[in-house]
């Protein structure tokens, strides 16, 4: 389908931008996307994101707006809220945060004051900027203290976490991160938070879909607040949610509006509602478990080829590869893989001697390839491509990178991308392998 056929109004009004959209659709369709924070949304989520809900301002909350004409908007937001509460088993949900970072900032606004001590995983160890890291506003406005992982096994050192929490007495503790390949022990964090008197926040942006699908333990019952984006493994639009016990509902709602934001993005709220409905279906449970099965199979195949994996493997959707032994820096490897049609991101590894913008590792994940229907049987081939491309990166062998790219494109053609990335999904049908919309 041409850009003119798929986006006729856009093509007519702005051919230059339409061409770029078409180029991105082809790129997403033809390449193997291994960035663990990316995924494909369904055609239904895409359609909801582009509705006339875009035209409406809705400051406030359902039944308590500052603008009139909210008869439909209130129902849309309420639908998203109730679906979030049901899917995750929480007392309260706020679906208005624009993205994950503002959602986390709202947590600080609700429970801390500038200068207070906050605690999170150090960024080089797998944490997130908004968990009190120095270059973030959260590290500038609050006093951030960080915990890490053990050097010998790459796992969270809970003795260090407890000692640090009791010594520093933070107002807020974050658990979760962006490069954690192992199951998060929410119960252990919960005990430490209660003992130190801190509000415990689970940032599950990466694993929210796995939690919804029963492929990762839930933080509910162990933490005070859950913060998450709505894309990544949850396969929704680029938005966020805050969920909590009822006792924290008012503080969080006030922090989002009027504390940080004005009118919510109603078209995104609608798309979140669609994604939450999709995540409540049995096929999504199949998908979540398939993501983990693929990640484990890929990790095993990479280990067999001599790659060093942080923590020795994975329990979830994410694999962190330390390329030090391959003598290829992560940035050079990532750019070579991109030329080979394999999209990853370069990433620091724990105790990395290299700088963050030129680190030792790459970070990969299986949400996107699972959405396309790939199975554990494909993972040895994916590992082989990564091996060949990383080796070629070290020798400057562009011919090998071109050959890998052709092989990747051939496999991707056999497994069309969901939604608008080169294919259309038929609502109501399920993919035989991964529980996603069938392709026509």
* Those residues with Cβ within 8 angstroms of residue 5's Cβ, 6 or more apart along the chain or in another chain: none
- Marked catalytic residue, from 65, 85, 150, 238: 238
- Marked catalytic residue, from 33, 182, 232, 372: 232
- Marked catalytic residue, from 83, 171, 182, 203: 203
Give the C-alpha distances (Å, rounded to integers) separating 209 from 12, 80, 88, 218, 345.
37, 16, 10, 11, 21
**Residue whose token pair is 């969270």:** 156
Residue 203 annotated as catalytic: yes
Residue 232 annotated as catalytic: yes
107 contacts 243 by C-beta, under 8 angstroms: no
Give the C-alpha distances (Å, rounded to integers) separating 139 from 108, 144, 252.
11, 5, 20
241 contacts 95 by C-beta, under 8 angstroms: yes
266 contacts 52 by C-beta, under 8 angstroms: no
Nearest to 319 by CA among 360, 349, 289, 363: 363
**What are the binding residues?**
123, 127-129, 246
Residue 57 annotated as catalytic: yes
Residue 238 annotated as catalytic: yes
DSSP strand E in 151-265: where?
172-175, 199-203, 225-229, 240-244
- Marked catalytic residue, from 30, 47, 59, 185: 59
- Marked catalytic residue, from 138, 228, 229, 348: 229
Residue 229 annotated as catalytic: yes
Rounded Cα–Cα distance for residues 84 and 270 (Å): 12
- Paired tokens of 219: 């933080």
**Helices and strands counted in the chain (H then E):** 17, 17
Give the C-alpha distances (Å, rounded to integers) separating 416 from 33, 49, 281, 378, 420.
13, 22, 22, 15, 10
- Marked catalytic residue, from 38, 47, 56, 57: 57
Residue 375 annotated as catalytic: no
- Outline where 55-200 has alpha helix (H): 71-88, 100-111, 137-141, 158-168, 186-196
400 contacts 406 by C-beta, under 8 angstroms: no
**What are the binding residues for (6S)-5,6,7,8-tetrahydrofolate?**
123, 127-129, 246
| Residues catalogued as catalytic | 57, 59, 203, 229, 232, 238
């Amino acid at each position: 389908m041409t850009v003119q056929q798929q986006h006729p109004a856009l093509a007519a009004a702005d051919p230059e931008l339409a061409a770029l959209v078409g180029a991105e659709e082809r790129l997403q369709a033809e390449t193997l996307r291994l960035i663990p924070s990316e995924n494909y949304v369904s055609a239904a989520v895409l359609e909801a994101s582009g509705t006339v809900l875009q035209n409406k301002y809705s400051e406030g909350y359902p039944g308590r707006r500052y603008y009139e004409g909210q008869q439909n908007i209130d129902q849309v937001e309420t639908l998203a809220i109730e679906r979030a509460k049901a899917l995750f088993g929480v007392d309260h949900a706020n679906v208005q945060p624009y993205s994950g970072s503002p959602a986390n900032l709202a947590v600080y606004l609700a429970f801390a004051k500038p200068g207070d001590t906050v605690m999170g995983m150090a960024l080089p160890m797998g944490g997130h900027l908004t968990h009190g890291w120095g270059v973030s506003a959260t590290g500038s406005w609050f006093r951030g203290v960080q915990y890490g992982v053990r050097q010998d096994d790459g796992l969270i050192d809970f003795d260090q976490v407890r000692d640090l929490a009791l010594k520093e007495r933070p107002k807020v503790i974050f658990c979760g991160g962006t490069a954690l390949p192992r199951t998060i022990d929410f119960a252990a964090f919960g005990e430490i938070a209660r003992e130190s008197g801190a509000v415990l926040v689970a940032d599950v942006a990466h694993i929210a879909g796995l939690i919804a699908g029963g492929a990762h333990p839930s933080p509910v019952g162990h933490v005070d607040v859950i913060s998450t984006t709505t894309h990544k493994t949850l396969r929704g639009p680029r938005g966020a949610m805050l969920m909590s016990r009822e006792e924290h509902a008012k503080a969080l709602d006030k922090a989002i509006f009027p504390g940080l934001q004005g009118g919510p993005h109603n078209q995104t709220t609608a798309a979140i509602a669609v994604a939450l409905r999709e995540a409540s279906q049995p096929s999504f449970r199949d998908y979540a478990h398939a993501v983990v099965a693929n990640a484990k199979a890929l990790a095993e195949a990479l280990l067999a080829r001599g790659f060093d994996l942080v923590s020795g493997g994975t329990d979830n959707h994410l694999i962190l590869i330390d390329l030090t032994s391959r003598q290829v820096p992560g940035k050079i490897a990532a750019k070579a893989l991109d030329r080979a049609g394999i999209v990853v991101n370069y990433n620091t590894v724990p105790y990395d001697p290299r700088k963050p913008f030129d680190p030792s590792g790459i970070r990969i994940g299986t949400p996107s390839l699972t959405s396309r229907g790939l199975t554990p049987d494909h993972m040895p081939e994916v590992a082989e491509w990564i091996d060949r491309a990383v080796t070629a990166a070290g020798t400057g062998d562009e011919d090998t990178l071109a050959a890998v790219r052709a092989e990747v494109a051939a496999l991707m053609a056999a497994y069309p991308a969901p939604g608008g990335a080169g294919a259309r999904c038929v609502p109501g049908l399920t993919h035989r392998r991964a529980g996603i919309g069938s392709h026509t």
